[in-house]
Structure formats: structure tokens, C-alpha cells
Amino acid sequence: MRNRWNILAFTVLGLVFVGMSVYLIVHPDRTGVVPNYRNASTHWWASQNIYVSGTHGFLYAPSFAVLFTPFNLIQPAVLGEIIWRLFGFGLFGWALWKLARVLNTQHGRLGITAPT
């Protein structure tokens, strides 16, 4: 990180992650869609149907259930979810950093200019 904008951006990203993690620890029963991921992964390895009827539940490709398996194996479940979110935040941060480099902006700062 070469300048204060990068430091600020990654600090904010880190604070959001910490806030989400604390919320998950305090309210482990309010985890959103991750229980659907866990159920799909468990059902996949048990050779059971990973999809439930209706509009809620696991709505992704079967390969995602397989890819989620390492996070499903982590116990307690809330720790697996925190690590899952850390993985997602890490990918998001890496993508932002890579986008800034691709755009070749000054000091890696992401700037958008409109054509005039």
C-alpha cells in the first residue's frame, strides 16, 4: 500500500469485516444464507438432493456446494462462517487492488474519469 487512500480503503474494509464477525459471534443464529450452503455441501457428500422446493434454499450450481466443503468442515459453524467471509473480503480487496493496477492510476488509487 503506497498511499493514504489505500490504507483508508483497506482499513474501512477491515472494520466492516470485524463488525460483521462480532455480529456473528453475538448472534450466531442470524447468519443469512450460509446455512443453505452448509446443508447443500453436507447433502452433496451424502449423495442427497441439494435443492429444496420453493424459492428459498440453495440456488447455485452443484460445484459451489463442493467448493464450500472446507468451510463446512470447520467447527464451530460460526467460525467457519467467519473464515468464509474473510475469504470473500480478501477476494474483494484483491479485486479492487487489481482493478486499480489495471487502470494504471497514480499510486494505485482508483479514479474514474468521464469522457467530455
Q: What is the pLDDT of residue 114?
A: 45
Q: Which of 35, 41, 32 is nearest to 73 (CA)?
A: 41
Please determine, for residue 5, whether its predicted confidence score (pLDDT) is greater than 90.
Answer: no
pLDDT digits (tens, 9 = 90+) for 44-69: 999 999 988 777 788 889 999 999 99
Q: What is the pLDDT of residue 111?
A: 52
Q: Do 73 and 66 contact (CB within 8 A), yes or no?
A: no
Q: How far apart are CA 28 and CA 70, in angstroms?
A: 19
Please determine, for residue 100, whether its predicted confidence score (pLDDT) is greater than 90.
Answer: no
Q: Where are the domains of the chain?
A: 4-50+58-108
User: pTM of the prediction?
Assistant: 0.73
